[in-house]
Amino acid sequence: MNVALTRADFERVMVPNYAPQQFIPVRGAGSRVWDQEGRDYIDFGGGIAVTCLGHAHPALVAALTEQAGKLWHLSNVYTNEPALKLAARLVEKTFAERVFFANSGGEANEAALKLARRVAHDRFGPEKHEIIACEGSFHGRTFFTVSVGGQPKYSAGFGPVPEGITHVPYNDLKAVAARISHKTSAVIVELVIGESGIVPASHEYIQGLRELTRTHNAALIFDEVQSGIGRTGRLFCYEHYGVAPDILTSAKGLGGGFPIGAMLTTAEWAQHFSVGTHGSTYGGNPLGCAVGNAVLDIVDTPEVLAGVLSRADAMAAKLNAIGEKSGAFSELRYRGLWFGWQLKPEFAGRAGEVLAAAAREGVMVLLAGPDIVRMAPSLIITHDEMMEGLVRLERAVLSLFKG
């Protein structure tokens, strides 16, 4: 017997750690989603930078379906062809020489931080365990990664956090230089800080971090969970900076919506994760890796990566025009198809109202805190879908702010 499910069922059966919108999406195609009532929405949220090729992309559906008919899961007692193929491609396209697969960005960052501490321990002893991270950063929801993340609201109330974690202001090289020492095992940084409003790192900052970490024998970790897989117009954002890390993490767009994460590193660093030191039951499963290969087939092409930049400029121009017309926004920050739209101080705290108004008009956006509207649409969103979504978003914004 089929039972109609409604938004009210969320309160009845789900843990209340989320507050989802009132409509329930049931189908998607490209950058368009339909809810239970058949109403359509243009998706500018991209599942928080996950659905980089939109919904139900035929190549991803075909890859998943084909692999599902072959082999779903083995455990890491064995390896599998899709995992080996995806790892080889990531090695070929990046600084890395070795890959560890996980299920999410949080797990990839957990692995990265553990590897950094393990290398430091093996080479210099247990005293070298400290980690420097940035205020306002976000690195995952495991207890270790949420403690490293620079937003205390996410780690408060769960007891003592792991020791040896220091937070410094983002884009402030002097602050890092003042805290780094012979005890530092790693500096972890997002090249574009996402959850705090899409703020890109300066070239001088990233180059300076590379020099400081080398001087102090510490790992430089780039968290590219959101910024990677074409989001900024390069396969990975670090390519814009000309600086290679010791460890890089990826997830979100890597699976185009199918759960997968990866930690990339050098052979020298990887050897410190000997057999049994770390693992993941589902990490590197054939389904996720098959989809990841299909994602790279499409994203890692000159046409798509160049298209990201042209779409980004077109979308930014329209968003700036809406901002001027409404008088509500002070700044638009973006890197590729990744936008942070900052409300003026007099409208502080109202980003949630924009999200709700946008949904009423049939467009899906995100938040980055109470004052910033965030967007991360498909990398291949069509011009018509993008323009239609922006028209809907303009109506939503003007319904709240009338200049």
Closest to 82 in 3D by CA, of 299, 250, 298, 294? 294
Q: Is the pLDDT of residue 1 over 50?
A: no
pLDDT digits (tens, 9 = 90+) for 272-303: 999 999 999 999 999 999 999 999 999 999 99
**Residue 2 binned pLDDT confidence (cut-offs 50, 70, 90):** low
**Residue 113 binned pLDDT confidence (cut-offs 50, 70, 90):** very high
Q: Is the pLDDT of residue 3 over 90?
A: no
Q: What is the pLDDT of residue 272?
A: 98
**Residue 403 binned pLDDT confidence (cut-offs 50, 70, 90):** low
Q: Which two structure tokens, joined as six digits, stand for 342?
A: 């900052």
Q: Is the pTM of this model over 0.95?
A: yes
Q: What is the pLDDT of residue 393?
A: 98
Q: Which two structure tokens, joined as six digits, stand for 330?
A: 């002070």
Closest to 262 in 3D by CA, of 41, 12, 87? 87
Q: What is the pLDDT of residue 4?
A: 86
DSSP letter, residue 162: P
Q: 102-111, 203-212, 394-403: which has the minimum mean pLDDT? A: 394-403
Any residues with CB less than 8 A from the CB of 269 and at least 6 apart, and which?
98, 115, 119, 219, 246, 247
**In the predicted model, what is the mean pLDDT of residues 328-341?**
97
**DSSP string across 124-140:** H-TT--EEEEETT----
Q: Compute the distance between CA of residue 68 and CA of residue 62 in angstroms, rounded to an integer.
A: 10
**DSSP string across 187-240:** EEEESEETTTT-EEPPHHHHHHHHHHHHHTT-EEEEE-TTTTTTTTSSSSGGGG
**In the predicted model, what is the mean pLDDT of residues 297-318?**
98
pLDDT digits (tens, 9 = 90+) for 122-179: 999 999 999 999 999 999 999 999 999 999 999 999 999 999 999 999 999 999 999 9
What single letter denotes the amino acid at residue 206? I
Average predicted confidence (pLDDT) for the chain: 96
Closest to 79 in 3D by CA, of 256, 289, 247, 252? 289
Any residues with CB less than 8 A from the CB of 49 and at least 6 apart, and which?
194, 226, 231, 252, 253, 338, 376
Q: What is the pLDDT of residue 45?
A: 98
Q: Which two structure tokens, joined as six digits, stand for 77?
A: 């007692």
